[in-house]
Amino acid sequence: EVQLVQSGAEVKKPGESLKISCKGSGYTFTNYWIGWVRQMPGKGLEWMGGIYPGDSDIRYSPSFQGQVTISADKSISTAYLLWSSLKASDTAKYYCARHQDSGTYFGAFDIWGQGTMVTVSS
Amino acid sequence: DIQMTQSPSTLSASVGDRVTITCRASQSLSSWLAWYQQKPGKAPKLLIYKASSLESGVPSRFSGSGSGTEFTLTISSLQPDDFATYYCQQYNSYLNTFGQGTKLEIK
């Protein structure tokens, strides 16, 4: 079964760092772009950026450039989203998702992780 | 950035109704548009890709149409399971963007 499994919910304080993960299985992880999507409480979906694990090509939305870091470890089929200094406004649910066509980001998201809820509060 | 405008924001309908949701893009997308369904607390689910292609396993009452800058999602006969929020997404470039969502409510 093709799936993406994300790490569990996190509660952090402002200024702390955080890395959440997204592990792919059931397919060749290096061949498909992975995107990250933010959903703030009660709000819509926002594309943050994506990575091609095969060569670590990374693209960011201008809205998130410099705010987060996307990476991947292809040896363990896992993508990451990292914050160096969290803010209360980072409170949201974060999804990873796979672009459906091999080797390109010109594809819809066909497989989604279950989401990781990140709560930032003092 | 390509802006996506969905309408309506909220739609009230009854089981058995035919409903249509519209998504307009600020520039041409060719057919690089997808539709998703999201239920509370769950990840989005892909319904339609390349504007009109039905994702495997999605009921045939869902259909998509359009090209360029105007697209529609149609549900031919609403079922109880269809009450959810729907999003369009353009992927004409690496800089994907989503519409703001349409909440489909029971009348």
| Cβ-based interface (< 8 Å): residues of B facing A | 1, 32, 34, 36, 38, 43-46, 49-50, 55, 87, 89, 91-92, 94-101
In this prediction, residue B25 carries a pLDDT of 96
Task: Out of A2-6, A9-13, B56-60, B94-98, pick the least confident.
Answer: B94-98
Token code pair at residue A49: 């950026």
The confidence score (pLDDT) of residue B42 equals 98
Q: Any CB–CB contact under 8 A between A109 and chain B? A: yes
Residue A29, classed as helix, strand or coil, is: helix
Express each pLDDT in A83-108 by its tens digit.
999 999 999 999 999 999 999 888 99
Residue B94 has a pLDDT of 83
Residue in chain A lying closest to B47 (CA): A110
Low-confidence ranges of chain B (pLDDT < 50): none
Q: Which pLDDT score is estimated for B93?
A: 85
Cα–Cα distance list, B52 to A76, A87, B49, B87, B102 (Å):
35, 40, 6, 15, 18
pLDDT for A29 beyond 90? yes
Peptide bond into B80 cis (omega under 30): no
Instruction: List, for residues A47-68, the tens digit of each pLDDT value.
Output: 999 999 999 999 999 999 999 9
CA distances from B57 to A71, A99, B46, B48 (A): 32, 18, 10, 11
- Provide, as residue numbers in chain A, all residues whose Cβ is less than 8 Å from the Cβ of B1: 62
Contact B46 A109 (CB under 8 A): yes
d(CA A93, CA B6): 22
Of A44, A59, A106, the CB nearest to B87: A44
Q: What confidence score (pLDDT) does residue A106 get? A: 85
**A114 near B CB under 8 A:** yes
Percent of chain A at pLDDT exceeding 90: 96
